Amino acid sequence: MTTPGPETLTHLDVSGRAIAVRAIPGQGPGVMWLGGFKSDMMGGKAQALADWAVRRGQNFLRFDYSGHGESGGRFVDGTISQWLEEAIAVFDCATHGPQILVGSSMGGWVALLLARALAARGEKRLAGMVLIAPAPDFTETLMWARFSPEVQQQILSAGRFERPSEYSDEPYVITRALIEDGRRHLVLGTPFAVGCPVRILQGARDEDVPWQHAMTLVSCLAEDDVVFSLVKDGDHRLSRPEDLERLVTVVESLL
């Protein structure tokens, strides 16, 4: 299936899950978008990068995790392991040559895990990484640790908790599987390297992922070239016109 213009939509089978992938052909290095928790690839930041890629003639790829957007599967069945498996499959099957990863919120965690997986097999295709309000370890530090004992007990006994969302009429369903699986992928607390330049954009008024959380990540990336940019009046989304312009500028700086 082909959408109007140069962008194509295909579906990649990953362990029986149909993962929607949109790709814009162009010059390298490629830019790969990794979205956030319960976000989809048609959101403002991803679309701004797609529009930029068309104008510039830059290779750009975005995809939806299972249970998100145009991909198959149920959101409540998702875990970090599952969404990481999909990101690796998309990277392996749909990208070629050097790549710049752009990860938003949970996508920042997935990007870091993807970089670790690539390093483990000796693959050096990452040309850079742009993280927007990165939320590594969010299931543990930003969810579980903040939940009341009553909510924690509900998750343990019932297997799920419906958390109200500021961004949707439907609540976020937080499952026991998501929490327990997240503990297998924690990255903060000990130094590690991704082996490429890292640029972090963070809103000072972000109530979902506080800027101090992103600074913890900075301290862990001691060996990498890291630039941390704090947007004084920015929120979690960082989707205002000036935020989108800033994002494009940062991505261009890594080309």
**Would you please indicate which residues are annotated as catalytic (active-site) residues?**
105, 206, 236
Residue 164, token pair as written in the block? 């109200």
Query: Which three-class secondary structure state does DSSP give residue 172?
Result: strand
Q: What's the rounded Cα separation, in Å, for the pair 169 and 70?
A: 19
- Beta strand 198-203 with 126-132 is parallel
Backbone angles phi, psi at 108, to 5 degrees: -65, -40
Residues in CB range of 30: below 8 A, 6 or more apart: 58, 59, 60, 61, 95, 96, 97, 98, 99, 100
Q: Identify the CA nearest to 30 among candidates 104, 116, 99.
A: 99
